[in-house]
Amino acid sequence: MNTYHAELWSDSSSSGDDTHYIKQTQTTPTETNVIPTMNPKLTQEQEKQLCSLLGNIKLSLLFKASIHGYTGAAFHQKCDHQGPTVSVGYNSTGFVFGGYTSKDHDVAKQGQYIQDDKAFLFSLTGRNPVRYPVTNPQYAVKMHNTTGPYFGEALLLMNANTATVISIPGNYYIFNAAEMHGNNLNLTECEVYKVEEGGNIIEKPWRTILWKAERRKELMESVKFFRPMISSVRQARVLLIGPVGAGKSSFFNSVNSIFRGHVTSQAISGNSGTSLTTQFRTYSVKAGRDGKPLPIILCDTMGMEEATGAGLDVDDISSILKGHVPDRYRFNPSVPLQADAHEFQQSVNLHERIHCVVYVIDTCKVSIMSTKLEEKMAAIRRRVNLLGIPQLVLLTKVDEACPCVADNLRNVYNSQYIKTKAQEVSGRLGVPMSCIVPVKNYSEELELDMSCDILLLSALIQMLRFTDNYFDDVNDQEKHD
C-alpha cells in the first residue's frame, strides 16, 4: 500500500483561467505512518481569493486536521520550519478564515512571539476577501505546543488540542468577529498550506522596454512637447474609470510626482471599501512647481461598485464623455445628472469632451472581479465605442500581484504571471493585449524611482498616442461632412 502527499497550486492558461491542481507524491509507508490521501478543501474560487491577497504563489498542503488530528503536536510536526504558511479554518456555517505568516512556525520557541510585518488575518466568506493586517509586527505569531496556528493572541486555530477557535479582536489584529467567522468558534476543518513563490520569470520579455535614465528623460520630453492635432484643443482629456481602490487617483498623484520631482498627493487616494473620490475632478499636471500645465488633463471619477445605486452610474459616464459634467460636480450614485439640472453643461466644445478612456484595474483582483462589475464595465465600453473614443487598460499594483516584480520592478515584462493577468483582462473586457499597460503607482515611497517612472511615463505616452487617434478620426469626419 502507498500513500501520497497532496499539493495544490495555481496555473493559468492563455485564457486567463486560474486552475488548481493536486500533485500527489508517492511514498512507501511503514506500518505507523499510513494516512489517507489528503485532498485540499479550498475551492478554486477561494484559492483565487487567497492569490489576490498573496500574489503569484503556489500552495502545498502540509496539514489537515481531519487526517492528522486537532492537536498542537500534529500541527508542529507537519508545519514547523516550512517557511511562509497560510492557515485556513472552516466552520459549520460556511465561514472560511485564517491567517498568513512569512516566518517559520517553531515549537522550540515555546511561549515566544515571532516578529512578522507581512502577517495578516483574512476572511474568504464574501465575494471579495477581507484582509486584516498585523498592527504590531513584534507580536505577529506566538508559539505554543498545545495549539495550532496562533496569531498574536487575536486568533487561535485549534485551542488546547481541540477543534476550537479563540478569537479576540484588537490584540495585535483588528477585525470584526461576525464578519470574519460569524462568531462560530467550532472548526469542521483546519488546513495549513506552505506558500511558495510562483517563480515564473521568462527569459525573453513579452514586451521590450528600456530601463535607463536617458529613456526616462526622453519620455518626459515627449509628454512636455506633445501637441494635439487639432489647434482648438490645447490639452488632451483622458478619463480614468475603474473599481473602488484600483488606483485612479493614485495614478494622477504618481504622474504629478514625476514632473514635480518628488512624491506628491494632490488627489485624495487610499484604501477604502467605498470610493474616496466623490466628485468629478479634472487634474492638470504641471512641469515643476511653477511650470506650465502639460498638454494632458487626467479626469478622475467616483469608483465603480457592483451594487445597484452605488458607485459611479453608467449614465453619468455618458455625460462625462460628452463634456456635460463640470469640474467638481458631486456625484449622486442613486440619481445620475439630468439634462435639465443646473450643473449640466449644455453647450460643449471639442476640448471639453473626453478624448481617451482608461480603465484602471487592480492586478491582484482580476480573477475575482464580480460578474456584476464586469457587466457594468461592458456597458460602459459599449457607450465609449459608440462615441468612437479610444480605450486603454492600466494594470496597477503589479508589485503586489507578483513577488518577482516586487523584488525588481524591471521583471514586470519577464513575469509570466503578469502576462497571464493581462491576457485574462483582455479576454474579460474584450480589449487587445496591445491596449493593456502594467504600472506601479507611488504608495508608500518617499522618493522617486526610475523604473517606476518609466512604467508610468510609458503609460502616459500611450494615452497621448490614443488621443491622436481620436483627433485623426475627428479630422477625417470633418473632411467628409
Question: For residue 204, is it within any domain?
Answer: no
Question: For residue 109, is it within any domain?
Answer: yes
Q: Quote the cell numbers at residue 116.
A: 512578522
Q: CA dist 265 to 268, 288, 428, Å?
A: 7, 15, 32
Q: What is the pLDDT of residue 84?
A: 95
- Same-domain status, 328 and 406: yes
* C-alpha closest to that of 458 among 416, 400, 412: 412
- Same-domain status, 179 and 239: no
Residue where a domain stops, chosen among 173, 197, 221: 197
- Return the ∠ at Cα 263 (arms to 331 and 255), rounded to 5°: 60
The whole-angstrom separation of Cα 169 and Cα 147 is: 18
Q: What is the pLDDT of residue 275?
A: 47
- Same-domain status, 154 and 220: no
Residue where a domain stops, chosen among 168, 197, 226: 197
- Is residue 256 within a helix (H) or strand (E), and if so which, with residue range? helix 248-260
Question: For residue 208, is it within any domain?
Answer: no
- Same-domain status, 234 and 189: no
- pLDDT tens, the chain, 481 aa long: 333 334 444 444 333 444 343 343 333 444 444 446 689 999 988 988 998 888 878 899 999 999 999 999 999 999 999 999 999 999 999 999 999 999 999 988 999 999 999 999 999 987 789 999 999 999 999 999 999 999 999 999 999 999 999 999 998 999 999 999 999 999 999 999 999 876 678 889 999 999 999 999 999 999 999 999 898 999 999 999 998 889 998 999 999 999 999 998 776 554 544 445 578 889 998 888 777 899 999 998 888 877 666 667 788 888 999 989 888 888 777 777 788 888 888 888 999 999 999 999 999 999 888 888 888 889 999 999 999 999 999 999 999 988 889 889 999 999 989 999 999 999 999 999 999 999 999 988 889 999 999 999 999 999 999 999 999 988 877 666 5
Sheet with 3-12, strands from edge to edge, namely 18-27, 3-12, 57-64, 187-197, 85-91, 96-101, 120-123, 130-133
- Same-domain status, 248 and 184: no
Range of the domain at 333: 213-480
Q: Residue 261: is it exposed, middle or buried by C-beta count within 10 angstroms (0-12/13-18/19+)?
A: exposed
- Same-domain status, 61 and 187: yes
- Same-domain status, 300 and 250: yes
Residue where a domain stops, chosen among 148, 163, 197: 197
Q: Tell me the CATH number at 376.
A: 3.40.50.300
Assign 78 to helix, strand or coil: helix
- Same-domain status, 284 and 353: yes
Question: For residue 207, is it within any domain?
Answer: no
Residue 243 pairs with which residues in a beta bridge?
304
- Same-domain status, 423 and 319: yes
**Number of domain units in the chain:** 2
Is the distance from CB of 147 to CB of 192 less than 8 angstroms?
Answer: no
The whole-angstrom separation of Cα 349 and Cα 233 is: 9
Question: For residue 206, is it within any domain?
Answer: no
